[in-house]
Amino acid sequence: MQKNIKDHNQDTFSSPDKSVLNAHGNPDKSALSEHGNPAKHKCFEERSGRNKCLFQEIFENLNCGAAIFEAVDDGDDFIFIDYNKAGLEMDHVAKEDVLGKRVTEIFPAVNESGLLDVFKAVWKKGGEISHPVTIYKDKRLHTWRKNYVYKLSTGNIVSVYTDETDRKKKEDYLKLSKIIFDNSQEAIIITDLRGIILDTNPAFTKITGYARDEAVNNNIGFMKSGKSGPEFYKQFWKKLHKTGAWHGEIWDRKKTGEIFPKWLTVSTVYDDSGLPLKYVAIFTDLSVIKKAQDDINRLHHYDILTKLPNRSLFYDRLKQSIEKSSVDGKKIAVILMGIDKIARINESYGIRFVDNLLVEVTKRLKHSLFTAESLSRLISDRFIFYISRLESYDPIAANIQQIKDIFDKPFEVDNNHIYISVSIGVTIFPNDAANPNDLIKNAEIALNHAKMTGPNNFQFFSGDMTVRAFERMRLEIAVRSALSKGELIVYYQPKVNIRDNDKIVGMEALLRWNNPEMGMIPPIKFIPIAETSDVILTIGEWVLRQACRTGKKIMDMGLTNFVVGVNLSAKQLKQKHFVDIVRQALQESGLPPQCLDIELTESMIFDNFDRNVKFMHELKSLGVTLSIDDFGTGYSSLSYLKSFPVNTLKIDRSFVMDIPDDKDDIAITSTIISMAQSLGLEVVAEGVETRVQAQFLKERGCYTVQGYLFSPPVPEDHFMQLLKDGFPDLIRT
């Protein structure tokens, strides 16, 4: 094999039949003409040998890879007959390992790369072919080459190839850089060292509105917003020259003229010698981020519905005002207002209506309260503001009057006109408290007391209000054990038929609390407290059982059509097994179901209308009767009333007490009576205190009444005596 390789090497660099090839690879005729002369022949051989050595040296020292192949198997494969140094290094092989061996043996992938087919084509047809080749090693890209394949006059194939890997990588890198440049979501600007724009990417146009052609050849400062002064840019260039980079927030101007914030990063590009060559500026539009930050700030400090400052922001502003007033000795008035009967409005119209109403209220308050500072929505239906640097109470009075004027006119909400009123609580710094928390708390206490005195009222905070707040806590603790201690008593107020000689035809069971320490406590004080906890369920069930037992005693006296009225609390209405509780109370007492009348208020029914109407039908199925108590104080319409399975309407005492002096009350009472009659319902009037009122009701067709004209609520034994004796002291006309 070694001999064959040597022979091949000799043949490769000599002309056929010992002749010399010319520059085109063809036999040199001049050389052939001298071939027969011995002297000249010897000279020719020496020159040919030198040329062969020269060619071999050139071949070996080419800076590109080169290999020479001889065809075998009639051109189906090729064996290595020579390999230069560059090729061996490029292919990571040794000459002794490859010479005389097949190409497919040394490089099995030569067929897949298409190079073997190129060899075959050149060997058969001659000429040359340029062919790119990707060489893989261990299934990873090893190198990328450009290959030139020639056929020599000897019939051998020579492959000359260059390693294009670095160039290919650079090309790929430039392509990738171009893709990144064009598709970056951040704006990119390339400038020279003077700041003249050389190129921009599409994101620059998208953000600023300037086309590339409008920006190129302009100084980068052409978009300046004017918000930053000369000193800013002086420091900018100073740092860029010193460190090679700058980053920070800066404001620029878009093509539309809009000023916008951006986060800018500027980097210096250096040449191979380390000298500055260009600047690359990359920036992001911060407008969206700024807006998001503003939105977060609004969510944290502002009410979503009304857009007013919320409790947190009000607290901060009030705190700052207190700090200033602590220095100059001025007073601050904190004024809190709450919409009256908002729960009933919600029950009648729904939460969306209330939201729209609050928006309309906000508009009026903002328009009218010129001297108010930090008008805020404290919570729900409560609005708060303060007046600082007070030297007298006159501004407080003026603001309270302004608030009242605001609510004198109806509000138009969802095509409805509605009149509402507000209660107001006022507290003063530093008289009442010295910090925001206590001032807000005091204003809430004052507002709650204002609401207790009636709608459309206002109260200034005073120390005794705090005492009353502790009193409420004391009541709340005591009421929980009142039943177990036997302190609760059921009183009864008679219902009288004024058409039948003032005959007692029924009674209403009313709860009273006789506490050993606090004495007789009115229901208006402890019932609302009991209703805030589940203790009202136990108390309510006890009252029901007591009333049923008392009713059975009265029936046993021969009054078979006597009706016992029992009030139902809102929590009892939601009690899952309340119908079973009523059934059991009737069975245990022996009171016929038709002698028990369950009284509910409009607001209770509207709390969950569909469920409560179903609940009322379940109660009716027991045989009991149902009444709507305090009728006329809510917002019921005739259409809703038709849906209630009720037997009786009870006219609230507030409409009866001013008859015959108040024309409005006369009209309302007459309307309720007519409405009840048209629906076939019984009607009972509460709060009757004079014979004139009783006569008015009788003339309108309301024959059943209750009130102090006949008797206040009394204990059971006293009521039994009334049944026996009637009303002997009553003057009848």
**What per-residue confidence (pLDDT) applies to 31?**
44
Whole-number Å distance between alpha carbons of 625 and 600: 11
- C-alpha pair distances (Å), 366 with each of 20, 371, 395: 110, 10, 17
Whole-number Å distance between alpha carbons of 539 and 347: 26
Same domain, yes or no: 31 and 138? yes
Instruction: Give mean pLDDT, residues 504-527.
Output: 89
Instruction: Give mean pLDDT, residues 127-132.
Output: 77
* 295 within a domain of the structure (yes/no): no
Q: In this predicted model, what pLDDT tens digit does every residue of 538-553 receive, in sequence order?
A: 899 999 999 999 999 9
Could you give the number of structural domains in the chain? 4
Q: Whole domain around residue 332: which residue ranges?
A: 302-461
Same domain, yes or no: 511 and 431? no
* Residue tagged 């069971």 (tokens): 509
Per the prediction, the chain carries an average pLDDT of 83
* Whether pLDDT at 210 is above 70: yes
Boundary (domain end) residue, out of 239, 269, 290: 290
Choice between 714 and 292, residue whose per-residue pLDDT is larger: 714
Question: Which H or E run contains 263?
Answer: strand 259-270
Same domain, yes or no: 505 and 385? no
Residue 440's CATH number: 3.30.70.270
| Burial of 340: CB neighbours in 10 Å, binned 0-12, 13-18, 19+ | buried
Same domain, yes or no: 35 and 58? yes
**What per-residue confidence (pLDDT) applies to 1?**
41
Secondary structure letter of residue 393 according to DSSP: S
Number of Cβ atoms within 10 Å of the Cβ of 552: 18
Secondary structure letter of residue 709 according to DSSP: T
Instruction: Give mean pLDDT, residues 123-136.
Output: 75
Choice between 10 and 293, residue whose per-residue pLDDT is larger: 293
* 732 within a domain of the structure (yes/no): no
- C-alpha pair distances (Å), 374 with each of 48, 301, 379, 386: 108, 12, 15, 7
Same domain, yes or no: 431 and 527? no
* Helix/strand/coil for 49: helix
Same domain, yes or no: 625 and 707? yes
**Residue 227 near residue 251, CB atoms below 8 Å:** yes
* 545 within a domain of the structure (yes/no): yes
Whole-number Å distance between alpha carbons of 161 and 232: 57
* 174 within a domain of the structure (yes/no): no
**What per-residue confidence (pLDDT) applies to 39?**
57
What share of the chain has pLDDT > 70, as a percent?
Answer: 87
* 176 within a domain of the structure (yes/no): no
* 648 within a domain of the structure (yes/no): yes
SS3 content of the chain, % helix, strand, coil (to 5): 45, 25, 30
**Nearest of 208, 214, 221, 302 to residue 261 by alpha carbon:** 208
**What per-residue confidence (pLDDT) applies to 202?**
92
Residue 226's CATH number: 3.30.450.20
* Whether pLDDT at 296 is above 80: no
* Whether pLDDT at 305 is above 50: yes
Same domain, yes or no: 441 and 528? no
- C-alpha pair distances (Å), 66 with each of 100, 300, 363, 379, 635: 16, 75, 90, 88, 103
Whole-number Å distance between alpha carbons of 251 and 204: 15
Same domain, yes or no: 286 and 306? no
Instruction: Give mean pLDDT, residues 647-656.
Output: 88
* Whether pLDDT at 23 is above 60: no
Q: In this predicted model, what pLDDT tens digit does every residue of 87-110 receive, in sequence order?
A: 888 888 898 988 999 988 888 877
**Nearest of 631, 570, 565 to residue 602 by alpha carbon:** 631
Same domain, yes or no: 136 and 240? no
* 212 within a domain of the structure (yes/no): yes
Tokens representing 319 are: 């705190």
* 641 within a domain of the structure (yes/no): yes
* Whether pLDDT at 428 is above 70: yes
Instruction: Give mean pLDDT, residues 34-59.
Output: 64
Same domain, yes or no: 146 and 274? no
**Residue 162 near residue 148, CB atoms below 8 Å:** no
pTM over 0.75: no
- C-alpha pair distances (Å), 703 with each of 18, 71, 122, 596: 149, 131, 126, 19
Same domain, yes or no: 195 and 233? yes
**Residue 394 near residue 402, CB atoms below 8 Å:** no
**What per-residue confidence (pLDDT) applies to 594?**
94
The one-letter amino acid code at 534 reads D
Whole-number Å distance between alpha carbons of 419 and 404: 12
**What per-residue confidence (pLDDT) applies to 53?**
78
Whole-number Å distance between alpha carbons of 731 and 733: 7
Q: Concatenated DSSP letters for 308-374?
A: -B-HHHHHHHHHHHHHHHHHH--EEEEEEEEETTHHHHHHHH-HHHHHHHHHHHHHHHHHH-TT-EE
Boundary (domain end) residue, out of 426, 461, 496: 461
CA angle 530, 532, 536 (to 5 degrees): 40
* Helix/strand/coil for 681: coil
Same domain, yes or no: 79 and 134? yes
Residue 491's CATH number: 3.20.20.450
